[in-house]
Amino acid sequence: MVMTQSPATLSVSPGERATLSCGASHSMSNYLAWYQQKPGQAPRLLIYGASTRATGIPVRFSGSGSGTEFTLTISSLQSEDFAVYYCLQYNNWPGTFGQGTKVEIK
Amino acid sequence: QVTLRESGPALVKPTQTLTLTCTFSGFSLSTDGMCVGWIRQPPGKAPEWLARIDWEDDKYYTTSVKTRVTISKDTSKNQVVLTMTNMDPLDTATYFCARIDTTKGYFVDYWGQGTLVTVSS
């Protein structure tokens, strides 16, 4: 299963909304997770099951979608949210990651 | 508190065998539903699964590395070991140890901090 993320780079001002997309090459169940990665760090789980926030994740992060199109929305970007975001499908083994979306300061 | 930590060489030569050890705490690989695996991330690229081992000692490998990779566990030591043979400069990457709790789903919920492995002569 190929996962395609768009855009590759998203320039957003602090306080603005960010919408990240992840498309699957085949229709899948909601076995979709989102991760945030900052330079030199491991990815951090944000969302699983397409829409369930992981423990401790702020409510400004939300996930949605089904079938082949999934979305991560950050409602009001904070300074600590500027990072690279990856989607992961775990519908089958091996899970596959998208190529990432870099959210940068506008 | 769940933690995972990778250890192993930072530099290996082409054709050599890489051995990485993941030492974890806060859970047991003998508990139903628990898995530990290895994911690598080449510089500037997306992560990629390599292998995982589960509580019943079932092992899963990614097709692209299946002939070169072996994963094993020592439940008493809370360790998982990855060996990768015939290393190539294209295998240069940060290697992460990762946990899956299948009672929640087959996604990674905890990651180690990663260890950078460079393949160069």
pLDDT digits (tens, 9 = 90+) for A12-50: 999 999 999 999 999 999 999 999 999 999 999 999 999
The answer for residues whose C-beta is within 8 angstroms of residue A27's C-beta and 6 or more apart is A67, A68
Write down the pLDDT at residue A75: 95
pLDDT of residue A22: 98
Flag if B107 and A95 touch (Cβ within 8 Å).
yes
Which SS3 state, helix, strand or coil, does residue B116 take?
strand
Minimum-distance CB partner of A42 among B60, B105, B113: B113
Give the separation between CA A54 and CA B5, rounded to whole angstroms. Answer: 21
CB within 8 Å of chain A, chain B residues 55-114: 60, 62, 96, 104-109, 111-114
Please state, in angstroms and rounded to a whole number, the distance separating the CA atoms of residues B59 and B73: 10
B73-108 tens-digit pLDDT: 999 999 999 999 999 999 999 999 999 999 999 999
**pLDDT of res. A10:** 97
List residues bridging with A53 in a β-sheet. Answer: A47
Predicted local confidence at residue B27, as pLDDT: 97
Cis peptide preceding A39, ω within 30 of 0:
no
How far apart CA B24 and CA B113 sit, in angstroms, is 12
Between chains, do B113 and A41 touch, taking CB under 8 Å as contact? yes
For chain A, which residues lie within 8 Å of any Cβ of chain B, measuring from their own Cβ? 31, 33, 35, 41-45, 48-49, 54, 86, 88, 90, 93-100
- Whether the pLDDT of residue A83 is over 90: the answer is yes
Of all residues in chain A, the one with the smallest CA distance to B42 is A99
Ramachandran sector of residue B67 (left: φ over 0; alpha: ψ -120 to 50; beta: rest):
alpha
Residue type, A48: Y
- Residue B111: how many other CB atoms lie within 10 Å: 22
A90/A83 Cα distance (integer angstroms): 22
Q: What does the pLDDT read at residue B8?
A: 97
Question: What is the distance between the alpha carbons of residues B76 and A3, in angstroms, rounded to a whole number?
Answer: 37
Chain A residues closer than 8 Å to B111 by CB: 42-44
Q: Per residue in A52-79, pLDDT tens?
A: 999 999 999 999 999 999 999 999 999 9
Residue A52's pLDDT is: 98
The Cα B34–Cα B46 span in angstroms is: 24
How many whole angstroms separate alpha carbon B114 and alpha carbon B11? Answer: 14
Residues of A whose CB is below 8 A from B105: 31, 33, 48-49, 90
Q: Say whether pLDDT at A92 is over 90.
A: no
pLDDT over 90 at A93, yes or no: no
Chain A touched by B24 (CB under 8 Å): no
Greatest C-alpha distance within chain B = 44
Dihedral, A77, A79, A83, A85 alpha carbons, nearest 10: -20
Condensed to tens digits (0 to 9), the pLDDT of residues B16-55 reads 999 999 999 999 999 999 999 999 999 999 999 999 999 9
How is residue A56 written in tokens? 């401790």
